[in-house]
Amino acid sequence: MNSEVEAINYIMAGGEGRRLYPLTAGNKPKSLLPIGESMRCIDFTLDSTEKSGFLSIIAGYYGFAHLQEYVCKDNDHSILIKDSKLLGFGSLIEHLGILCQATTKNIFITPADHVHFLDYQKMLAFHTGNQAKATIVAIKPTDDPNHRMWVEKSGNISSYQGKPVEHAQQLHATGIYCFDIDFLIGVLKQRYITDKHFDITDVFRGLVKDKTAFAYLYNGHWRDIGTLDRYYEENIRISHREDRNVFVGNNYVADSASVANCVFLGKVSVGKNCHLKKAILTEEVEIPARVRLGFDRYEDEKRNIMITPKGIRVVSGGSSLL
């Protein structure tokens, strides 16, 4: 463990990504799903960690071999560890011995499926300046009631997933944390060492009661890509093409085809006189000539095309477009 870093970032990358199926079929971890034409989802937190001069500890399980191949290429800023099963935050307990070896005073805990450009150094300065035991990244309110919290002007959290507090600002908790590492290790040893099925938000709620939990307001872009709709929207958002398409790797689109607002995930072939819009096309999908996709819901359902709650068509190897 590098003794010179100010903090370590424990990246949670073990999830199965069921809500992103079929993109995660074939043991593909959601942390490696493409965002735009050159990035993977995990790259955002890895880049922010490296720019801050911190060390990344990446805990993986599902699709571990793919994760290992990707993060270990020319990378001396990360340590990759494997969970014994799908553990969630229980991964921290399973690898408690590694945390105990750390000489740093602070630990970030971040999901691998969030897109953001967070400056961890600024967050760390806020965390240490308030002598906080825990700090969570907060953004302006969303329509998700499960992540609401009320924050005082000082940044102190008055209520977390609870009732509104007068004179406090309502914000949205992102699930990106910074903890005093000695405090976190102590809690894990005392309360959870025999139970790997714990949720770190329980620890956080206790700190809110003790007035030692703070919220760091982040005004930049943040997105959790944990569903097909959010994944699609994030890709289209960063597309610089006039047709709003995203092409990952090599793909073929016939000159006579019309394609707009689609995400191509590599080795996709689109035949002559096709008309496609608002779709995710997984790897090695072949669209035969004269197919219309994304225009008629009844016709697409009849062809067994997956349709998301927001109407995005998802075409995989099991779809029938004949």
Backbone angles phi, psi at 185, to 5 degrees: -60, -40
pLDDT of residue 320: 58
Q: What is the pLDDT of residues 236-284, one digit of tens each?
A: 999 989 999 999 999 999 999 999 999 999 999 999 999 999 999 999 9
pLDDT of residue 34: 96
Mean residue pLDDT of the chain comes to 90
pLDDT of residue 50: 92
Can you give the three-state secondary structure of 34-46, one letter per residue? EECCCEEHHHHHH
CA 210/CA 205 separation, integer angstroms: 9
Q: What is the pLDDT of residues 202-224, one digit of tens each?
A: 888 889 888 899 999 999 999 99
Q: Domain residues of the chain, as ranges?
A: 7-224, 232-315
pLDDT of residue 145: 64
The number of angstroms, rounded, from the C-alpha of 128 to the middle of its chain's C-alpha atoms is 25
> What are the residue ranges in the chain where pLDDT is below 70?
1-4, 73-75, 144-146, 162, 192-198, 318-322
Contact 20, 231 (CB under 8 A): yes
What is the fold, at CATH topology level, of the domain defined by 232-315? UDP N-Acetylglucosamine Acyltransferase; domain 1 (2.160.10)
pLDDT of residue 2: 47
pLDDT of residue 209: 84
pLDDT of residue 319: 63
Return the residue matching tokens 């993977």. Answer: 40
Which residues contact residue 279 at a Cβ distance below 8 angstroms, ignoring those fewer than 6 apart? 261, 262, 263, 293, 294, 312, 313, 314, 315
Contact 175, 111 (CB under 8 A): yes
CATH class of 7-224: alpha beta
pTM assigned to the model: 0.92
Closest by CA to 270, choosing from 279, 258, 278, is 258
